[in-house]
């Protein structure tokens, strides 16, 4: 079922696949962390900010939610999942191909990013015969690889899930409804002013 907003945009009333890349307030080595690239949100307010997103409409009957996280924000991301009423069921890993360069980090340099796969309601287990590790090159800061979203899509299709939304997106993505600062210039899409999402076929 589709919903028309006051601005005339059309979105689904619920989504059964949602990707969330929270703007956690973390900083990496040499002052090159997230705050230098986009506005961040205090972690205590993150549940409020996520729920305020126009596309945060998980289907209570069954949905997969993909929570992107980093080494330093992993515990907070599990906390967020609990607050949002989600059940973590698996993990996926993006192994970053930097062409021989090292990532950021203090104790060690990080070359992997994690996705905590969560479930809401009842979702058939996809049982894909695939690795949980995706190797893909690093692009601009915080840009996530299309290879990972292709894996999300295969997981969803194997479970009969097709209504896809991406929160805190940096760009449009084929087959997904997206909202975020990188799409419309609005801080995290929290404001109700302006166009908060775009759809591509």
pLDDT in tens, 83-132: 999 999 999 999 988 776 766 677 776 788 999 999 999 999 998 989 99
Q: Is 138 exposed, middle or buried (0-12, 13-18, 19+ CB in 10 A)?
A: middle
Q: Taking a C-beta distance cutoff of 8 angstroms, is the pair 26, 36 a contact?
A: no
pLDDT given at position 127: 87
Number of compact structural domains in the chain: 1
Tell me whether residue 125 is in a domain.
yes
Tell me whether residue 4 is in a domain.
no
| H or E stretch at 154 | helix 146-158
- The DSSP symbol for 111 reads -
Tell me whether residue 6 is in a domain.
no
pLDDT of 138 > 50? The answer is: yes
Q: Taking a C-beta distance cutoff of 8 angstroms, is the pair 60, 109 a contact?
A: no
Tell me whether residue 3 is in a domain.
no
Q: What is the mean pLDDT of residues 36-43?
A: 75
pLDDT given at position 37: 52
Ranking 58-72, 113-127, 162-176 by mean pLDDT, the lowest is 162-176
Strand 17-20 relative to strand 62-69: parallel, antiparallel, unpaired? parallel
pLDDT given at position 39: 80
Tell me whether residue 51 is in a domain.
yes
Looking up residue 151, the CATH number of its domain turns out to be: 3.40.50
Q: Is 35 exposed, middle or buried (0-12, 13-18, 19+ CB in 10 A)?
A: middle
Beta carbons within 10 angstroms of residue 115's beta carbon: 24
Q: How far apart are CA 158 and CA 127, in angstroms?
A: 8
Q: What is the mean pLDDT of residues 9-14?
A: 76
Q: Taking a C-beta distance cutoff of 8 angstroms, is the pair 40, 46 a contact?
A: no
| H or E stretch at 81 | helix 74-83
Confidence class of residue 195 from pLDDT cuts 50, 70 and 90? very low
Tell me whether residue 126 is in a domain.
yes
The parent domain of residue 24 ranges over 15-199
| Of residues 50, 57, 56, the one with CA closest to residue 1 | 57
Q: How far apart are CA 168 and CA 190, in angstroms?
A: 10
Tell me whether residue 81 is in a domain.
yes
pLDDT of 23 > 60? The answer is: yes
């Amino acid at each position: 079922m589709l919903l028309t907003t006051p601005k005339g945009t059309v979105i689904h009333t619920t989504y059964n696949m949602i990707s969330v890349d929270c703007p956690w307030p973390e900083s990496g080595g040499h002052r090159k962390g997230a705050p230098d690239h986009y506005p961040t949100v205090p972690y205590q307010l993150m549940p409020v900010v996520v729920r305020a997103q126009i596309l945060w409409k998980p289907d209570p009957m069954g949905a997969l939610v993909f929570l992107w996280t980093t080494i330093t924000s992993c515990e907070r991301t599990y906390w967020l999942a609990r607050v949002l009423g989600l059940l973590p069921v698996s993990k996926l890993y993006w192994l970053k191909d930097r062409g021989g360069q090292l990532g950021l980090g203090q104790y060690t340099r990080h070359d992997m990013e994690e996705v905590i796969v969560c479930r809401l309601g009842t979702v058939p287990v996809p049982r894909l015969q695939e690795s949980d590790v995706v190797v893909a090159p690093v692009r601009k800061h915080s840009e996530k690889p299309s290879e990972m979203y292709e894996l999300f899509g295969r997981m969803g299709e194997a479970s009969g899930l097709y209504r896809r939304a991406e929160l805190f997106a940096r760009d449009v993505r084929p087959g997904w409804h997206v909202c975020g600062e990188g799409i419309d210039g609005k801080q995290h899409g929290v404001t109700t002013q302006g166009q908060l999402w775009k759809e591509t076929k």
